Amino acid sequence: MIDMTPKQRVFGTLKNLLKVTESDISLDAERARIKVALERCISWEGQLSDIRDSEQLIASNIG
């Protein structure tokens, strides 16, 4: 398995969900999978916030 950053996981998941919505697959049939994918994206929020906050802190210390 490829090691991905939280940002890559979130946006990769969102891209896959977009493909599902653009396909001929019934969204009702995919409801459970979509729900799990969205829950995972939400669960990574803290990791994304931590990265953004630390990047801002570093930038403010440099500038």
Location of structure tokens 């969204």? 27
- Listed by start position, the domains of the chain span 6-61
12-32 per-position pLDDT tens digit = 999 999 999 999 999 999 999
Range 26-44 average pLDDT:
92
Distance of CA 35 to the CA centre of its chain: 13
pLDDT at 53: 59
Residue 44: predicted pLDDT:
86
- pLDDT value at residue 35: 95
- pLDDT (average), residues 33-50: 87
